[in-house]
Amino acid sequence: MAGGEYSLRYIDGETPIHRIYPLIKLAWVFIVATGLFFYREPRSGAVMFVAILLTALVFARVPLSDIVGSSKLIFGLGLLLMIFHFFADPGQPVYRLGPLTVTDSGLEQGPIFFFRLSVVVLASFVLIWTTDIRDLMYSLTRMGIPYRYAFAVFLALRFLPVVQREVDTVRAAHAIRGRASRSGIVHRIKLWQRYMFTVLINGLRQAEAIAIAIESRGFGAYPDRTYVKTVRFRPGGLVLILVFTLLASVLIYIERAM
Amino acid sequence: MGPGETERAGDVLVNIQRVTYTHWNQASPTLREVSLRIKRATLNVLVGPGGSGKSTLCDLFNGVIPHLSGGSFEGDVWIDGVNTREVEVKDLAPKVGRVFQDPEIMFATLFVEDEIAFGPENLRFDVATILSVREKLLADTNLAPRRHHLVWNLSGGQIQKLGLASVLAMQPQMIVLDEPTSNLDPAATRNVHEMVLSLRREGITVLLVTRELDEFLAEADQLFVMAEGRLVTSGRPHDVLREQGDYMVDSLGVWLPETSELGIALKREGLIKGAEIPITVHETLSMLEREGLLARLGADESGLSAVHRSTPTIGDILLSGKDLRYAYPGGTEALRGVSLDIRAGDWLMILGRNGAGKSTLASMMVGLLRPQHGELVVSGRPIQRWKVQDLANHIALVFQNPEHQFLTDSVSDEIGYSLLAHGFSSGPEVERQTGEMLELLGLRGVADRHPLALSAGLKRRLGVATMLVGKPQVLLVDEPTYGQDKAMTHTLMALMQEIRATGVAVVMITHDMRLVQEYAERVVVMSEGVVLYDGPSAGLFDRADILAGSNLRRTILHELLAAMRQAGLPFLGEVRRTSDLVDRLRVKDPAE
């Protein structure tokens, strides 16, 4: 109901990152993600995280409010994962909190997992914020991928704001129902279940409606289609890949050398 | 086909023969033995009560049934000579375009001009054709200045036009519009109607499902009426109204233009002798004149004898807003200085076009949004000092889609939950109050049903029930009658009046001008985040400047009254519905 400002979708702009050929940005996300599996220290993940954050803020000019708005759920999940690792990893005990023990390897592994999740998510978000999906689809078909499959990428992204809107509406609707005081954790979990259920049911309904609507517009009628607008490959964007590959290599080198 | 008329096979674009269809998850058929024909380049209007099978019928034209919907399908549908069983949905796309009620769901790209090209690109039209068709459509829909805009930055009316343009770009022979205007303000509705008429002039066949019937109905070539899955009647609108008008109004509860309703009522009362039922204001005036009724109405100098309405006393201020402002993170200024008081026992309707700020204001009143500027005091305490959950005991909001608010697995649990949330400790008291609420809202019979399995009307009632149990002083309802048929609308409005009679201030958000005319006492008109009018509803219909400034329109009944005034009948007094006019004519019958 309220206005409709959903942060996880394309932000119109003419920034250097917007202008990069879509496939280069896609490749960049893969390279950044691959690097994460080589880092052994949380510091490397942190550096990569800051680098991507700066890319988003400075070169893609994504407003900080959009970054926080779209990512808080994932970052929150990452923090939970991190805390879980503190206690769950085997290793030398460092602190004791009642029956729970924080281990030294937990303290190291926790942040590594946090950054693995956050870095991949943030990089994919940069792709979403700065790429016209139509252009991405077009560049994928130029690589020989049938357009119906290329379009699967689009459908997944198309669905994000729908889910986000649904989540916001249900949350607001539930908030004004008041809170039953018999609370307790079981009750809380039941509410959370209902919350997910409503979002899921409405989401599935929407997904079905979207699928029918797209097919009604001739999508998939032929193995190929025409494009009134094309995207030209511009090698300049390769700088992005170059810089991040270099950064990842330096990080790995420092870890191994020290 | 009427007797004596001949028909060439080539004239018929759609031929539906004895179609019976049952949804996969339902036991009884949604369509029963439906047969109909539609000729090329005609405008066809389909009406019927909620749940009569209108949308399901629309799914036949482009093959969604039988290809995508599952279920059991009997009979045949031929489109331009092709049986829909033998081709797929995507292959029917060049023949029949479908505009959905919420066109946003069919948007596949980010920018307006890309969206228009999407369909023809899929159909492999050559680039030059796509570009020239797109230019024409951008011009026709006045979307040219917004061609590089993001599709989600359009207004409700523009979204509807873009939906239409993207379907027309595929150059279909027919287009099917399922309630394209139910989400639109009256001015945008008129705009869509004008576009539909121009399509017919260009030779495109149109099927329009709608409940916003006004003078536009007179332009239709064929009117279809559905009830309980059957096509109960069809023909030229005037013929259908003459033969079946009574039945449509009394038994089906279909929304007809008020002018036609007036004609049907006068005929039933024996006050007119002719058989024709008028549709346009002009036709209605001539009918009244021909039957000698106009003079009788004009002779009525006692406008004060009009309908008397009891007004409960308006009490203390419950909510007071001063200079409220709110801008969304993207920069959209939704409220630009709104001041508004709500008092105990108020019966208020907030009107305005989509995006006028109505919903933002409602969200603010229940604490979901905080004012960025100005002062909002609820029950004597500034809004900043309220928790959303506690505020619910004082001011409750029923969402447009009540499904979003449901939390449990049965109707009675749903009400019970609200009671627990409002501090009842459970046990017999909760049970007793749940029982009372079930009774009050007529939900007793479905107490054990799952909330999501209820009909649309019952869901809304349950939505109201869950918000009423906290005994709020203000009940805010967002578009409670959206998409409802006439019978359900009147039931819901009667419910609102009952609630209000208990001393609760009822605030409704709507853009349904008939509702305003019939029920409102105080109206607040919003436009572009400011209040343009705050006063009695009767005064609003005379303020052409405000109506125009807020994209609202007079109802056809008020058009008629204005035309009567212009014809030299200084018509005074309050007329809220057609029956008020009929009452007067009955009273003034010289025979009595």
A105 versus B8: the higher-pLDDT residue is A105
pLDDT of A181 above 70: no
Element at A45 (helix H, strand E): helix A42-54
Q: Decide if A202 touches B, using CB distance below 8 A.
A: yes
Strand order in the sheet with B222-227: B96-99, B174-178, B205-209, B43-47, B222-227, B230-235
- Residues B446 and B462: their CA atoms lie apart, in Å, by 10
Q: Decide if A230 touches B, using CB distance below 8 A.
A: no
pLDDT band at A2, cuts 50/70/90? very low
pLDDT of B313 above 70: no
Contact predicate A163/A8, CB 8 Å: no
Distances (CA, A) of B265 to A228, B268, B281, B583: 56, 5, 16, 10
Residue A194's identity, in one-letter code, is R
pLDDT of B311 above 60: no
pLDDT band at B507, cuts 50/70/90? very high
Cross-strand partners of B525: B351, B533
Distances (CA, A) of B311 to A53, B133, B315: 61, 57, 12
Of B108, B127, B369, the CB nearest to A217: B108
Residues 116-175 of A with CB under 8 A from B: 132-134, 154, 158, 161, 169-170, 172-175
Interface probe with A: pick from B56, B89, B148, most Cβ of A within 10 Å: B89
pLDDT of B4 above 50: no
pLDDT of B36 above 80: yes
The lowest-confidence range among A36-50, B403-417, B475-489 is B475-489
Of A2, A180, A216, the CB nearest to B62: A216
- Residues A50 and A57: their CA atoms lie apart, in Å, by 10
Predicted local distance difference test score (pLDDT) of residue B330:
65
pLDDT band at A119, cuts 50/70/90? very high
> What is the average pLDDT across A108-121?
90
Residues 396-435 of B with CB under 8 A from A: 396-397, 399-401, 403-408, 417-418, 420-423, 426
B539 versus B148: the higher-pLDDT residue is B148
Predicted local distance difference test score (pLDDT) of residue B42:
96
Closest CA to B71 of B113, B19, B114: B19
Among residues of chain B, what percentage have pLDDT more than 90? 41
Closest Cα in chain A, distance from residue B68 (Å): 8
The lowest-confidence range among B14-28, B160-174, B538-552, B569-583 is B569-583
Per-residue pLDDT of A197-232, as tens digits, reads 878 887 888 888 888 888 888 888 888 899 998 888
pLDDT of A6 above 70: no
B330 versus B174: the higher-pLDDT residue is B174
Q: Decide if B387 touches A, using CB distance below 8 A.
A: no
Radius of gyration of chain B (CA): 25
Per-residue pLDDT of B567-584, as tens digits, reads 877 665 678 888 888 888
Per-residue pLDDT of B469-485, as tens digits, reads 878 899 999 888 776 77
pLDDT of A256 above 60: yes
Predicted local distance difference test score (pLDDT) of residue A16:
94
Single pTM value for the model: 0.82
> What is the average pLDDT across B393-410?
85
ipTM tops 0.85: no
Of B130, B167, B426, the CB nearest to A228: B130
Residues 160-179 of B with CB under 8 A from A: 166-167, 170
pLDDT of B222 above 90: yes
Predicted local distance difference test score (pLDDT) of residue B216:
85
pLDDT band at B21, cuts 50/70/90? very high
Domain coordinates of chain A in residue numbers?
1-145+231-258, 147-222
B259 contact partners, CB below 8 Å, separation of at least 6: B215, B278, B279, B280, B281, B283, B284, B556, B557, B560
**Structural domains in chain B, sorted by start:** 1-95+173-248 (3.40.50.300), 104-171 (no CATH), 259-306+557-587 (no CATH), 317-556 (3.40.50.300)
Q: Burial, B159: exposed, middle or buried (Cβ in 10 Å; 0-12, 13-18, 19+)?
A: buried
Predicted local distance difference test score (pLDDT) of residue B573:
67
Among residues of chain B, what percentage have pLDDT more than 70? 93
Contact predicate A175/B368, CB 8 Å: yes
